[in-house]
């Protein structure tokens, strides 16, 4: 029983993020417990990712806290800014914009590295934008409208300097 309750805390925290993974119920309480609701997280380590002819140095949101915090409180998001979220397992992804002063775009990506959906996320909107699919493993956040300006749409393959997203992230154990 103790094992289940210890395991459930990180899973519950993962669901309550701003500018990252989200759940519509009680997000502020969970995030306040962790103490990182009042400022942006420092720039995360980056990796080159490739989307067709485009290249981005994407920050990598890999830990629970990095995923939960996402781009919260970030201002002056540049055309070159991006954050790649490894959600670890296929799911119906959901992102929201609590504590996010700038609108952004998010692409929902399946294990094979293919962009399946692209959504606009309105600044400070606490309504979760869920993927239509339940097999999303990665999400890529960019400056609002970046995908359209760079002619990147659904069906685009995303790879890294190390190869496919699956090889880079899902087989790292």
In tens, the pLDDT along 113-125 reads 999 999 999 999 9
Orientation angle between helical segments 2-15 and 27-34, nearest 10 degrees: 110
For the record, the structure tokens of 59 come out as 């920050």
Residue 4: the pLDDT is 38
Residue 27: the pLDDT is 39
Band of pLDDT at residue 84, cut at 50, 70 and 90: very high
Nearest to 70 by CA among 143, 139, 121, 19: 19
Band of pLDDT at residue 20, cut at 50, 70 and 90: low
Residue 86 burial (CB count, 10 A): 19
For the chain, list the domains and their CATH numbers.
2-170 (2.60.120.1140)
pTM of the model: 0.81
76 vs 71: CA distance, rounded Å: 11
Structural contact between residues 100 and 19, judged by C-beta atoms closer than 8 angstroms: yes
Band of pLDDT at residue 40, cut at 50, 70 and 90: confident
Per-residue pLDDT tens digits for 106-160 = 999 999 999 999 999 999 999 999 999 999 999 999 999 999 999 999 999 999 9
Helix extents (H) in the chain: 2-15, 27-34, 64-69, 146-149, 165
Name the percent of the chain lying above pLDDT 70.
77
Residue 9: the pLDDT is 36
- pLDDT exceeds cutoff 90 at 60: yes
Residue 41: the pLDDT is 84
The neighbouring-strand residues paired with 157 are 114
């Amino acid at each position: 029983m103790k094992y289940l309750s210890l395991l459930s805390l990180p899973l519950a925290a993962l669901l309550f993020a701003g500018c990252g993974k989200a759940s519509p119920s009680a997000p502020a309480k969970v995030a306040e417990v962790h103490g990182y609701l009042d400022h942006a997280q420092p720039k995360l380590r980056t990796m080159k990712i490739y989307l067709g002819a485009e290249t981005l140095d994407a920050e990598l949101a890999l830990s629970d806290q990095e995923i939960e915090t996402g781009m919260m409180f970030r201002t002056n998001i540049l055309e070159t800014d991006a954050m790649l979220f490894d959600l670890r397992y296929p799911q119906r992804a959901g992102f929201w914009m609590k504590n996010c002063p700038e609108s952004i775009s998010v692409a929902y990506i399946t294990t094979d590295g293919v962009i399946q959906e692209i959504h606009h996320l309105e600044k400070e909107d606490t309504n979760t934008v869920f993927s239509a699919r339940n097999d999303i493993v990665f999400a890529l956040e960019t400056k609002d409208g970046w995908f359209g300006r760079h002619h990147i749409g659904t069906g685009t393959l995303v790879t890294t300097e190390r190869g496919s997203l699956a090889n880079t992230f899902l087989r790292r154990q």
